[in-house]
Amino acid sequence: MRNIFILIATLLTFSACSNNYQPDPRVKIIGHCSNSAMLVSDVNAMMRDDGFMQTQITGENLTSSYFKVEYKIVWFDENNFKIDSILSNWAEIPAYAEQPFYINVTAPSNKAKTFRLYLKKEGNLICEQQSN
């Protein structure tokens, strides 16, 4: 009986501690500190009627302070070749304390079939490992 209780308690503990979020391979958070400061909780992508791919990334500022999130989306065509565009430059959005943030972007061309998103916390010089 005692063993059953221990087993149930263990199962409950592990299920509570487990994180259901599976990191999306299309998203990469750059820098150790950025990883602890934000979380990407959802990546939504669809093909619009006009042939342009649109994506919405939902993230969350896990800290109790405001910061800016810098992001960059690189688009690829059906052959996995990178599509050069001004829309692949670093851009920034506000991330308010303990609140979600949303990145809503459309591909620069209807040739885009997939993408890779890079995120980092602005001005995180100590933890920043790479900038592009």
Partner 1 sequence: MRTTIKLALGSTLAIALLTGCGSAKTRNIDIHNDKESSAVMGLDYRDFQGAAQSMVQSLINSGAVNKPGGGRYVLVVSRVINDTMQHIDTDQLVKKMRVALLRSGKVVVTTAVGVGGAEDKMSMQTRTALRGNAEFNQRTVAAKGQMIAPDLSLSGKIIQRNITVDSSTQQVEYYFQMSLTDINTGLAFWEDEKVIGKRGSNDSVAW
Residue 63 binds partner 1, judged by CB under 8 A: no
Among the listed residues 106, 114, 116, 127, the single contact to partner 1 using CB under 8 A? 106
Task: Out of 50, 78, 79, 126, point to the residue binding partner 1 (CB under 8 A).
Answer: 50
Buried b (16+ CB within 10 A) or exposed e, 7-31: eeeeeeeeeeeeeeeeeeebbebbb
Residue 35 as a binder of partner 1 (CB under 8 A): the answer is no
Residue closer to partner 1 by CB (options 35, 106) is: 106
Residue 110 is a binding residue for partner 1 (CB under 8 A): yes
Rounded to an integer, what distance in angstroms lies between the CA atom of residue 115 and that of residue 22? 18
CB nearer to partner 1: give 18 or 132.
132
- Closest CB 97 distance from partner 1, rounded Å: 22
Q: Minimum Å distance from CB 107 to partner 1? A: 8
Beta-carbon neighbour count of residue 44 at 10 Å? 11
Integer-rounded Cα radius of gyration of the chain: 19
